[in-house]
């Protein structure tokens, strides 16, 4: 399964709503997200990993505040 680029803004649509007849699968979603993050951070140094998570936490908080 190809993992969509999280930057595209269509991650939820790509991972969850491929087929509206399918039920939501939280385990599958978490595995796909974990795989995506692992691919992105696999070549980073420990310091870069910390910065990666700080950056994405801030993005998540801004998105949640806007709801």
- Closest by Cα among 52, 22, 63 to 13: 22
Q: What is the DSSP letter of 6?
A: G
Question: In a structure prediction context, what are the per-residue pLDDT tens digits for the chain, which is 67 residues long?
Answer: 444 555 555 555 555 556 667 788 999 999 999 999 999 999 999 999 999 999 999 999 999 998 8
The reported pTM is: 0.57
Element (H or E) spanning 49, and its range?
helix 46-65
Give Cα 47 distance to the centre of its chain.
20
């Amino acid at each position: 399964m190809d993992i969509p680029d999280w930057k595209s803004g269509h991650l939820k649509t790509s991972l969850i709503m491929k087929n509206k007849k399918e039920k939501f699968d939280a385990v599958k979603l978490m595995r796909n997200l974990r795989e995506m993050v692992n691919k992105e951070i696999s070549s980073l140094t420990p310091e870069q990993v910390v910065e990666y998570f700080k950056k994405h936490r801030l993005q998540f908080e801004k998105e949640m505040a806007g709801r």
